[in-house]
Structures are given as C-alpha cells and as structure tokens.
C-alpha cells in the first residue's frame, strides 16, 4: 500500500494531544521529525495506543498509525515490532530508505 492511500483511509490513532487516561509511552525527535506515543494499559497489557507527530511527514504518521495497531495486546516490557512486516505493508512506497528511517524514529520513541 502507498502511504497516500493509507492516509485516505484515515488515521485511527493520531491525536492532537494526550488523551485522558493515557500515559506518555515515549518520544523521539530527529531533525524536523518528532513523535510522541501514548498508551492505555490494563493488567499489564496495552489496550490502546495513540500518537502525535509532526504533521509534515506522512510516512512517519502512516507507520506510527500502523504500529499503534500492532502494540495493542502487547506488554510494555516485551514489545515486538516486525520491521519486515511494516515495510512490506508499505511495499509500494518508492523511498525505502525514508520508510526505514521513519520506522527507526518510531522505534526509538518506543525504546525497542
């Protein structure tokens, strides 16, 4: 899928500010790109994850939105993000190096 197509479907996990009942999971900044991740946990599991980022990078926003979906059900201590699956999901994107960079910024925010 292309990032532009993903955005047309709508971002499910983007928020303007920290939602009530959520805590900051982590944040990262690289150049003009900034991201903050928020989680809502119950019984040691992430029930929901949201993010806020600089709106100028659609690639970062799309990757963060998809990864937030993948965080649900995981425990904070053992988060697993399959880089290949994320990059494969956006395999139609031409700038692979930028996609890898944006994924790495997000992983830095999540501490993985």
Residues whose CB falls within 8 Å of the CB of residue 109, separated by 6 or more in sequence, listed in order: 25, 26, 27, 28, 35, 36, 37
The C-alpha atoms of residue 107 and residue 86 are separated, in whole angstroms, by: 12
Predicted local confidence at residue 56, as pLDDT: 83
The beta-strand segments (E) located in 31-112 are 33-42, 45-53
Predicted local confidence at residue 77, as pLDDT: 87
Q: Which H/E stretch holds residue 13?
A: none
Per-residue model confidence as pLDDT tens digits over 3-47 = 999 999 999 999 999 999 999 999 999 999 999 999 999 999 999
pLDDT class of 2 with cuts at 50, 70, 90: very high
The C-alpha atoms of residue 39 and residue 81 are separated, in whole angstroms, by: 16
Per-residue model confidence as pLDDT tens digits over 47-68 = 999 999 988 899 999 999 999 9
List, in order of start, the domains of the chain with CATH numbers. Answer: 3-110 (3.90.1010.10)
What are the phi and psi torsion angles at 40 (to 5°)? -120, 120
Predicted local confidence at residue 107, as pLDDT: 96
């Amino acid at each position: 899928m292309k990032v532009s197509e993903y955005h047309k479907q709508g971002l499910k996990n983007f928020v303007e500010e920290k939602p009530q009942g959520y805590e900051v999971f982590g944040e990262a900044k690289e150049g003009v790109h900034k991201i903050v991740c928020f989680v809502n946990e119950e019984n040691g599991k992430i029930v929901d994850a949201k993010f806020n980022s600089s709106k100028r990078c659609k690639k970062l926003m799309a990757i963060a939105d998809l990864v937030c979906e993948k965080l649900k059900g995981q425990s904070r201590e053992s988060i697993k993000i399959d880089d290949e699956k994320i990059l494969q999901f956006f395999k139609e994107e031409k700038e692979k190096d930028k996609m890898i960079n944006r994924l790495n910024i997000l992983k830095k925010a999540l501490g993985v």
